[in-house]
A and B are shown apart, each in its own frame.
Chain A
Amino acid sequence: MDLTKMTNDRKLYLCRWYFRAGFALLPFLWAVNSIWFFNEAFRKPEYDEQKQIKKYVIFSGIGTIIWTVIIVTWVVIFQVNRAHWGEFADDISFIIPLGTP
């Protein structure tokens, strides 16, 4: 989809739906939304729908950051404690590396 060939309310509609769909545990959608509409929100000359687009882009961005923090924290905790947790860690692993405790 080419944003340049789109009407402004169509853009708003898209941005809003991307933002809403992100609540279905889809942080990447938020990440895409915040990057894709970044120019529309901040770098284009003002137009009516821009304010709302800006709002959605900012919220998507915040959501992305929160998700990133959560995922990174979990990955670190899991990697550090995997050997220590024993059975529990194996049960929640999809891939168990060879030759490591």
Chain B
Amino acid sequence: MYIKSSILFFLYIEINLILLSNGERTKDQMYEHFDGRMSCFRRLNATHQIGCSSKRDGSTGIIHYVEEQEDLNFILKTGSAGDYIPIIPTVLLKPETIKSLKNSGKISGIVIYNDNTKIPKHYSHELKCPNPRSNIEKTCDVPWNKHGTGILHDDVPFPIYYVNNEEDLKKIKDCFQKFNNFSYETQYTRSLCSIELDAFMHATTDTPTCIRRSNSKTNLNPVKFCDPLGGENVWASLFPIENVTAKNDAVHANNKKYIILATHLDTTSMVHAAYPGAVNPITGIVTLLATADLLKRMVKEEVQYGDNILFMLFSGETYDYIGSQRMVYDMEKDEFPMKIDPDIKNPLPLIHLDDISIFVELDQLSKNKQLFANPTDSSNNSRMKNFMQKLQNYSKSFATFMYGSQLPPSSLQSFVKGNSNLSGLVLANYRSNYLNNYYNSIYDNYTNVDYQYYNTTEDNTSEIPFDSIQYYTANISEMLARSLYEEVINKRYEGDEKPRLELIDELYNCYLLNPDCKVHQAIQRKKLGETPYNSYSFYVGVTVVPNLLTYAIGLTLGWLTGDIVATNKTCIGDPHIPVYQYFNMSRSLDNLNTTECFRTTMNFTEALSPAFILPDYNWKSNKYSSWSESTWKDLTVRMFLKPSAAHERFTIAIGSVTFIMSLILVYFVKSRSHILFVTPENCSPTSC
């Protein structure tokens, strides 16, 4: 109200800037802005585009709030006022719905919301078999993700936005009730509550096209159309990898064999900035970190060991195994752990695929009475059998250990493709169908793993119940750590180191609830909670934007497997001894304020698909992941009142009629002015 009179006031007082800075603006009265980041966006691979895009200046539609399928059918049938944007509960986001909306021609976008009273029983838009192009043969005979709808891999011609905020949802609902939700037959005569979704994607068609266009030399206005997906892999060794003194030996390594304990770092979902990823990948990551921590403490006193253990966390595994494909590529190209550099006096020995003795991958590990080891085809040797026997023995206390029949989609697939003789297994809580009903979706959150934060200290973990996810993860990590200990030290572990429940509790807290948790404070990564969503998330992201979460997890791994050194005053690594990296971090969870210098074996390697670095890569070959993400200018959402066509016609009619009438009238007055206005020559103004 104030603004109206103030606008008329502008007739008289022009202090626009001052008033604008402390008053409300007309614009603010007309638009309700929402945080538009949680929009679906476009990704591309070698042959397709998937995801959504709005029109160039945003897609606008009339709001229709939908609670049941009938509401949606109703508006498709009776809607009379142009394009609609239905606000649908997550349950209704199904392939059938999308198809019918596509075909109706009345829909310019979708907004989805979470209805707490109707949480879907299963909700996964991933394919039934993730990464079908990159798995070894026959993997996809099994519907691993049996509830998967595959919408994530559809090319949706309109934008999709997720309101995850009760307050915003209420505003939308109220606006709908006030302006739209009555006498539908005459909707076209009213001004209606509408919403504009702007998520215009720059890239189209496929990755080769957009990369080519981004590098086009003739383009006068060079734009980047897309960025390759990718990030960084994290790895660390249990025992420092021995330096090779003579340069020439580097290629031949030192005949050491390695056991790899691996998991992946990423998940995905339909909309940007909502990647909770509780079961996948957080259970795997926490289990790996807890195992690394326990193993490190177990081998503290040991000097003699057989195989070394490498902990590896791969990025971008959701998108055709970007991280593991790159790792295999690096190993084949003699570039892992690092390229041979003549300047480095003590290079690290190269590690090749042949040097891997056992590959243990941790997949989804939420609570289940059964634990499955899905081995590779070449695991039929005595060492593997022996190892799996050990796992079985140590799992007796908490789960039934069983063998799966087939290798599920996993990072191990890339390694088997590189070396079909690899012995390895994927440890997971499923045999051939995921137990996780919310695989790669917005519902894979802390409730999906039944997590509750207890905020305990080392001496007081009794609050944590035995049937909690914390205990389950602790049990698995103990099983793994004891079995791996026996593999590398060749004797039974007799010490009394146990998994640290408070650490596991804290780690889950970090990844599920609070980015500014104690662990992240300990590794000196503060204020992660304030960083923009896209740089701190379990989505792989693009290589040009560093993923802060990957760094945080890497540092956590370094912190757990590192040693405190007192001698290194500056805590800076020597470039000639690349085996160690030094970091200042807190002494322990209970002692965050005491900083020590940690010497770690943790390192990052690039997780960018080889497809983007090979100069003449054949995109059609499907050998490597080709996923890229379209660029966009803005993801914005705003709600407003759209004038009805009738009102618009009324305005233009009044305007035009006034204009034409005044032309006629003024012409008339002008041409008759000598008659209308009598001004006799002798008549002075005073006497008239």
A residues in contact (CB < 8 Å) with B = 83, 86-87, 90-96, 98-101
- What separation, in Å, do the CA atoms of A94 and B212 have in the docked complex? 14
**Which residues of B in the span 453-493 have a Cβ within 8 Å of any Cβ on A?**
none
Inter-chain contact A101/B205, CB cutoff 8 Å: yes
Contact digits for B201-224, partner A, Cβ 8 Å, 1 yes 0 no: 111110001001100101111010
The interface residues of chain B lying within 8 Å CB-to-CB of A90 are 209, 212-213, 216, 218-219
Is the CB of B649 closer than 8 A to any CB of chain A?
Answer: no
**Which residues of B in the span 200-252 have a Cβ within 8 Å of any Cβ on A?**
200-205, 209, 212-213, 216, 218-221, 223, 225
- What separation, in Å, do the CA atoms of A98 and B218 have in the docked complex? 15
Name the CB-closest residue of B to A98: B202
Inter-chain contact B204/A99, CB cutoff 8 Å: yes
The interface residues of chain A lying within 8 Å CB-to-CB of B203 are 99
The interface residues of chain A lying within 8 Å CB-to-CB of B225 are 96, 98
Is the CB of B56 closer than 8 A to any CB of chain A?
Answer: yes
Inter-chain contact B219/A98, CB cutoff 8 Å: no
Inter-chain contact A86/B209, CB cutoff 8 Å: yes
- What separation, in Å, do the CA atoms of A27 and B206 have in the docked complex? 39
- What separation, in Å, do the CA atoms of A96 and B209 have in the docked complex? 11
Inter-chain contact A93/B219, CB cutoff 8 Å: yes
- What separation, in Å, do the CA atoms of A92 and B202 have in the docked complex? 20
Inter-chain contact B218/A92, CB cutoff 8 Å: yes
The interface residues of chain B lying within 8 Å CB-to-CB of A95 are 219-221
Given the known inter-chain contacts A87-B212, A90-B212, please indicate yes or no for A100 contacting B218, CB distance below 8 A.
Answer: no
A-B pairs with lowest CB-CB distance, top 7: A98-B202, A94-B220, A101-B204, A101-B205, A96-B213, A96-B219, A90-B216
The interface residues of chain A lying within 8 Å CB-to-CB of B201 are 99
Contact of A99 among B200, B216, B218 (CB under 8 A): B200
Name the CB-closest residue of A to B206: A101
- What separation, in Å, do the CA atoms of A99 and B55 have in the docked complex? 9
Given the known inter-chain contacts A92-B218, A93-B218, please indicate yes or no for A98 contacting B223, CB distance below 8 A.
Answer: yes
Inter-chain contact B209/A99, CB cutoff 8 Å: no
Q: List 19 interface pairs A-B (beta carbons < 8 Å), by A numbering.
A: A86-B209, A87-B212, A90-B209, A93-B218, A94-B220, A95-B219, A95-B220, A96-B213, A96-B216, A96-B219, A96-B223, A96-B225, A98-B200, A98-B225, A99-B56, A99-B201, A99-B202, A101-B205, A101-B209
In angstroms, how far is the closest chain A Cβ from the Cβ of B12? 45
Among A90, A93, A100, A101, residue most surrounded by chain B Cβ atoms (within 10 Å): A90
The interface residues of chain A lying within 8 Å CB-to-CB of B626 are none
- What separation, in Å, do the CA atoms of A99 and B205 have in the docked complex? 9
The interface residues of chain A lying within 8 Å CB-to-CB of B56 are 98-99
B residues in contact (CB < 8 Å) with A = 53, 56, 200-205, 209, 212-213, 216, 218-221, 223, 225
The interface residues of chain A lying within 8 Å CB-to-CB of B220 are 94-95
In angstroms, how far is the closest chain A Cβ from the Cβ of B194? 22
Name the CB-closest residue of B to A100: B204
In angstroms, how far is the closest chain A Cβ from the Cβ of B41? 12
Name the CB-closest residue of B to A86: B209
The interface residues of chain B lying within 8 Å CB-to-CB of A101 are 204-205, 209
Name the CB-closest residue of A to B54: A99
Given contacts A86-B209, A90-B216, A92-B218, 19 further A-B contacts (CB under 8 A): A90-B213, A90-B218, A91-B216, A93-B218, A94-B218, A94-B219, A95-B220, A95-B221, A96-B219, A96-B223, A98-B56, A98-B200, A98-B223, A98-B225, A99-B53, A99-B200, A100-B204, A101-B204, A101-B205
Name the CB-closest residue of A to B216: A90
- What separation, in Å, do the CA atoms of A87 and B213 have in the docked complex? 8
The interface residues of chain B lying within 8 Å CB-to-CB of A87 are 212
- What separation, in Å, do the CA atoms of A94 and B219 have in the docked complex? 4
The interface residues of chain B lying within 8 Å CB-to-CB of A100 are 204
- What separation, in Å, do the CA atoms of A93 and B220 have in the docked complex? 9
- What separation, in Å, do the CA atoms of A68 and B286 have in the docked complex? 69
- What separation, in Å, do the CA atoms of A95 and B204 have in the docked complex? 15
In angstroms, how far is the closest chain B Cβ from the Cβ of A79? 16
Given the known inter-chain contacts A86-B209, A98-B223, please indicate yes or no for A91 contacting B218, CB distance below 8 A.
Answer: yes
Among A86, A96, A101, residue most surrounded by chain B Cβ atoms (within 10 Å): A96
- What separation, in Å, do the CA atoms of A93 and B217 have in the docked complex? 10
- What separation, in Å, do the CA atoms of A69 and B205 have in the docked complex? 32
- What separation, in Å, do the CA atoms of A96 and B226 have in the docked complex? 14
- What separation, in Å, do the CA atoms of A86 and B211 have in the docked complex? 12
The interface residues of chain A lying within 8 Å CB-to-CB of B53 are 99
- What separation, in Å, do the CA atoms of A57 and B200 have in the docked complex? 50
The interface residues of chain B lying within 8 Å CB-to-CB of A93 are 216, 218-219
- What separation, in Å, do the CA atoms of A87 and B204 have in the docked complex? 14
- What separation, in Å, do the CA atoms of A92 and B218 have in the docked complex? 7
In angstroms, how far is the closest chain A Cβ from the Cβ of B539? 22
- What separation, in Å, do the CA atoms of A83 and B205 have in the docked complex? 9
- What separation, in Å, do the CA atoms of A16 and B202 have in the docked complex? 50
- What separation, in Å, do the CA atoms of A91 and B212 have in the docked complex? 9
- What separation, in Å, do the CA atoms of A92 and B221 have in the docked complex? 14
- What separation, in Å, do the CA atoms of A99 and B203 have in the docked complex? 5
- What separation, in Å, do the CA atoms of A98 and B204 have in the docked complex? 8
The interface residues of chain A lying within 8 Å CB-to-CB of B219 are 90, 93-96
Name the CB-closest residue of B to A94: B220
The interface residues of chain B lying within 8 Å CB-to-CB of A96 are 213, 216, 219, 223, 225
The interface residues of chain B lying within 8 Å CB-to-CB of A92 are 218
In angstroms, how far is the closest chain A Cβ from the Cβ of B217? 8
In angstroms, how far is the closest chain A Cβ from the Cβ of B314? 32
- What separation, in Å, do the CA atoms of A92 and B216 have in the docked complex? 10
In angstroms, how far is the closest chain A Cβ from the Cβ of B254? 48
- What separation, in Å, do the CA atoms of A56 and B270 have in the docked complex? 66
In angstroms, how far is the closest chain A Cβ from the Cβ of B622? 19
- What separation, in Å, do the CA atoms of A94 and B222 have in the docked complex? 9
- What separation, in Å, do the CA atoms of A92 and B212 have in the docked complex? 13
The interface residues of chain A lying within 8 Å CB-to-CB of B204 are 99-101
- What separation, in Å, do the CA atoms of A83 and B204 have in the docked complex? 10
- What separation, in Å, do the CA atoms of A95 and B216 have in the docked complex? 10
The interface residues of chain A lying within 8 Å CB-to-CB of B202 are 98-99
- What separation, in Å, do the CA atoms of A83 and B209 have in the docked complex? 10
In angstroms, how far is the closest chain A Cβ from the Cβ of B45? 15
- What separation, in Å, do the CA atoms of A94 and B203 have in the docked complex? 17
In angstroms, how far is the closest chain B Cβ from the Cβ of A90? 5
- What separation, in Å, do the CA atoms of A13 and B381 have in the docked complex? 98
